[in-house]
Copies of this chain bind each other. A is one copy, B any other.
Amino acid sequence: MVFATTPTPPYTAVIFTSLRTPGDHGYTTMSARMEKLAAAQPGYLGIESARTGEQGITVSYWVDEAAAAAWKQVAEHLLAQERGARVWYTDYRVRVATVTRDYGPAREDGHSPRPGRSH
């Protein structure tokens, strides 16, 4: 994983900050499966993830809040959430946000080029 390729704002970011419990308990397998499953959902844009010790941050990007909400309700994802709260995570926060502005060093606006746009 490097950077998610996201379009011109607005789009939706789901910021998931977590504290892991010790041990794997099937976490690695589930995590890989959920990334693959998320990527197959309508409106999925990309995912970015990092972990320092037990502290993890995963940001998933979606075309809109409806797409993010639909992903939350996918059956297999609901099971993972339930197991996450019970087994994998000591604590977590989910923040659903609307990205209004983005930029990076390469291009002033930081998103993928679109034909016909002039900057």
Contacts and interface: CB of A to CB of B under 8 A. Distances in A.
7 nearest A-B pairs in the assembled complex, by CB-CB distance? A97-B97, A50-B50, A96-B101, A95-B102, A97-B99, A50-B57, A50-B52
Given A50-B50, A91-B105, A2 B55 contact: yes
B17 A59 contact: yes
Contacts of A106: 91
Interface SS, A side: strand
Interface in A1-56: 1-4, 6, 9, 13, 15, 17, 19, 48-52, 55-56
A72 to B, nearest CB: 10
A115 interface: no
B65 A91 contact: no
11 contacts: A1-B55, A4-B17, A13-B15, A13-B95, A50-B56, A57-B59, A91-B106, A92-B104, A94-B103, A95-B101, A97-B97
Interface string A100-119: 11111110001000000000
